[in-house]
Amino acid sequence: MSNSLRAYALIPARSGSKGIPDKNIREIAGHPLLAYSIAFAKKINFERILVSTDSPRYQAVALRYGADCPYLRGAEASSDKAMEEDVLADLASNLPGLGIEMPDIWVRLKPTSPLRSVRSVEAAIAALEADPGLDSVRIVSEAEARLHVVNKDGYLEPLSPQWDPGRSVMRRDEFPRAYKPFNLDVLRHALWIERGSAYMGRRIKPIVEHRITGLDIDDEDDLELAGALISIKPRPQFLKPYIHDPA
């Protein structure tokens, strides 16, 4: 892939996870979790692969696996309430002083979602290059639309008003398709820095991926599941595009 716009991979890796301590560097199938995002990014024509972290230990892992991590993130962008906008603002404040130009496009790769495909990211970058009016691209997977909630009385009730209570089952195709963001966003740097727009803007193109990309590691069970999938040998054909082993 040859980019006409400068694209950086951004791997945000805060150290303060409460559910799994040091989640982003927990070993999974022989490598720190963070290493899988770096290995993936190396397969794409990024000008830089940047890890943003507040931890010297995470920084050492990033450098060992071949990413850039030129400074440690400030406290404001590292709290458990910090949003992706805060991380980008922190980078915009610090990178120019280190002699690093800002990119045209950021590709955010969340370390806790290690299953992803090169073709989706390349398609997202190409879409932004082809359409100057497009604000961003979000990789999504199809989600279940036939959801229920527990009401204040403790009983199940359908989330959608389309649910017919007189029927035992309703088909998926009777509901509007729903999609789950999969923690991979591709956006223009100028969109929110120079124009003060929302993080993703308003013209957001979806790219629909296999549902396996929706795996987001939040607890020990998720970590074990990801490790089991990555360790399968030989790998099923459908799984091969989504696993990227660190060197």
Give pLDDT, residue 171.
87
Query: By C-alpha distance, which of 206, 227, 226, 229 is closest to 216?
Result: 226
Residues of the chain with pLDDT under 50: none
| Closest-CA residue to 189 (of 72, 89, 51) | 89
As a whole number of angstroms, the distance between CA 8 and CA 15 comes to 22
**Spatial contact of 16 and 78, defined as CB atoms under 8 Å apart:** yes
pLDDT of residue 121: 97
Q: What angle do CA 202, 80, 192 make, to 5 degrees?
A: 25
C-alpha count within 13 angstroms, C-beta hemisphere, residue 101: 7
Domains of the chain: 7-242 (3.90.550.10)
As given in the structure block, the two tokens for residue 146 are: 């036939």
Q: What does the pLDDT look like over 54-75, one tens digit per residue?
A: 999 999 999 999 999 999 998 8
Give the pLDDT score at 197: 60
**3-state secondary structure at position 242:** helix
pLDDT for 196: 61
DSSP symbol at 240: G
Please tell me the pTM assigned to this model. Answer: 0.92
> Which residues are CB-neighbours of 51 under 8 A, at least 6 positions away?
11, 12, 13, 34, 38, 58, 59, 62, 67, 68, 69
Q: Report pLDDT for 172.
A: 84
Q: What is the pLDDT of residue 173?
A: 87
CA–CA gap between residue 185 and residue 174 (Å, rounded): 29
Distance from the Cα of residue 175 to its chain's centroid? 27
DSSP structure string for 168-206: S---GGGS--EEEEEEEEEEEHHHHHTS---SS-S-EEE
What phi, psi does 207 have (nearest 5°)? -120, 120
Q: Which residues have a Cβ under 8 Å from the Cβ of 29 and sit 6 or more positions away?
A: 227, 230, 231
pLDDT at 165: 81
pLDDT at residue 192, rounded to an integer: 66
